[in-house]
Amino acid sequence: MQIALNARILQAPRTGIGHYLAELISALAHDPDLELSLFHGWGWSSSLPKATMPGYSRLTPLLRQIPGSYQARRWLEQRRFDRGRSATIDLYHEPSLWPLAFKGPTIMTLHDLTHLHYPSTQPAARLREIERRLSQGVQQARLILTDSQFVAQEAQHYFGLGPERFVVAPLGAAARFHPRSNASLQQVLQPYGVKPQGYFLCVGTQEPRKNLSLALRAHTELPETLRQRFPLLVIGMAGWERRQFSDELNNALAAGHVRLLGYLPDEHVAQWVAGARALIFPSVYEGFGLPVLEAMASGTPVILTRRSAMPEVAGAAGNYIESDDLHGLCAAMSHLVEDEAHWQTCREAGLQQAKLFSWERCAAITAHAYRQALGG
C-alpha cells in the first residue's frame, strides 16, 4: 500500500501532534506492506525531517492580521500537495484537523475538540478556519482515528456519526522516556542548581487550556521551605496567549521559586521528566495527555485533573485533582514530597500503567485502519 501522509507540521517545532506524527511514521516504517510518501508543505519526501527548534519570526504575527491569510496558505498547500504526488497513492492520511482535497480514500486523525469546548484557546482567525474546514474533513474521511475513547465518543455525538466511523489508536511513549539513574541526570540538572527528585515539573505550551496558573498559585501556597527545596520548573514554548497568567508567572519568577526552561531538545526534556519529583499537569482539556504517559514511563508520579481523556491514560496511577482545586493540588504536592512510601507506590503504579501503551500498538491499529478503509 502506498500511503500519503501530510507531514507539514513536522517543519515546525514539535509539540503534541508533531511528536505523534514523528513516532507514528517511525513505527509504520517497520510494516513491510506500507510505503509512505510524506508531504512536507513544499513537496514530497520519503524521509522523516529532523526536529526544528523554535525561532521568533516578525512575519508570523503580521500574517495573522491579514484577512484571508489562512485561506491563501491553504490554497498554496493544496497546489503543492497535488504537484509531484505519485499517481499510485492508495490512501491519504491527514494527521491533524482537516484533510486536503484528495479523490481517493482518506483517513484523518482527530486528536481533540478543543476549539469546541474552549474556543478562547484559539486565535480568532484560526478558529474560524477550523469551524469551516473540520466538518468537511470529517465527511471526507472514511475512518477517523482518535487518541482516546473519550474523543471518539464526543465526536460521534457532535458530528452525529456512528461508532463504526471511528478507530481508537492510543498513543505511546517514545523510547527516550524511561527511568534514569541520578548520576546520568547530573549533566543536565546541575547547571540549574537542582537535584534529581528535587523539583516539580510542568510540560506543555504555555496557553490558557494548560491551566499553568493553578500550578503557579499552588506552588506559591506551599511552605517556604518546600518551595526552596522543590522549585517549579516549566518546559514549553510561550504559546499564543501567555499574558493570561503573566501576573502569577512574573511574581513567581521574581521570587526565584519558578524557572522557565523554554523549549528544549527532546532528549533534554526526557531527562528533566525522569528527574522530577512529580509532573504537575492541571490541564482543563486533553484528547490524550501525552506528557502524563511519558512521565509514568519515566518513573515520575503525576498529579493531574480528572478531566476529558486523562483518566484513560493515567488509570489508577494518577494523583487526581479538580481543575480549580488550589488546596487539593497543594496537598497532592506535599504528599509526594513528605511521604516517601506514597511516592514510591505512585512511581511503580505509573511504570506498570505505561506498559499498556506503545507506538508499536498505535501503528498496528493505524495500519489495520488503512486496510479497513481500502476494503481489506
Q: Has residue 13 been placed in a domain?
A: yes
**What pLDDT does 59 receive?**
42
The residue whose grid cell reads 494527521 is: 95
Q: Has residue 264 been placed in a domain?
A: yes
Q: Has residue 73 been placed in a domain?
A: yes
* CATH number, residue 140: 3.40.50.2000
Strand 200-203 relative to strand 166-168, pairing: unpaired
Q: Has residue 287 been placed in a domain?
A: yes
Contacts for 312 with CB less than 8 Å, ≥ 6 apart? 148, 149, 150, 170, 288
The residue whose grid cell reads 502506498 is: 2
**What pLDDT does 58 receive?**
42
Residues 127 and 274 in one domain: no
Q: Has residue 340 been placed in a domain?
A: yes
- Cα–Cα distance measured from residue 187 to residue 292, given in angstroms and rounded to the nearest whole number: 24
> How many folded domains does the chain comprise?
2
Residues 312 and 191 in one domain: yes
> Which structural domain, as residue segments, surrounds residue 31?
2-172+358-373
Q: How far is CA 116 from CA 47, 128, 169, in A?
A: 34, 11, 22
Residues 200 and 257 in one domain: yes
**What pLDDT does 345 receive?**
98
DSSP 120: G
Q: What are phi and psi of 216, to 5 degrees?
A: -65, -45
Residues 164 and 197 in one domain: no
At what angle are helices 290-297 and 266-275 packed, to 10 degrees? 60
Mean pLDDT, 10 residues at a time, over the chain (376 residues)?
94 86 96 95 84 52 58 87 89 92 95 86 76 88 98 96 97 98 95 96 84 92 94 81 60 82 93 98 95 98 96 98 96 98 98 98 98 90
Residues 285 and 338 in one domain: yes
Q: Has residue 177 been placed in a domain?
A: no
**What pLDDT does 98 receive?**
83
**What pLDDT does 240 receive?**
47
Residues 195 and 118 in one domain: no
Residue 107 near residue 120 (C-beta atoms within 8 A)? no
C-alpha closest to that of 295 among 335, 334, 351 = 351
Q: Has residue 91 been placed in a domain?
A: yes
Residues 192 and 149 in one domain: no
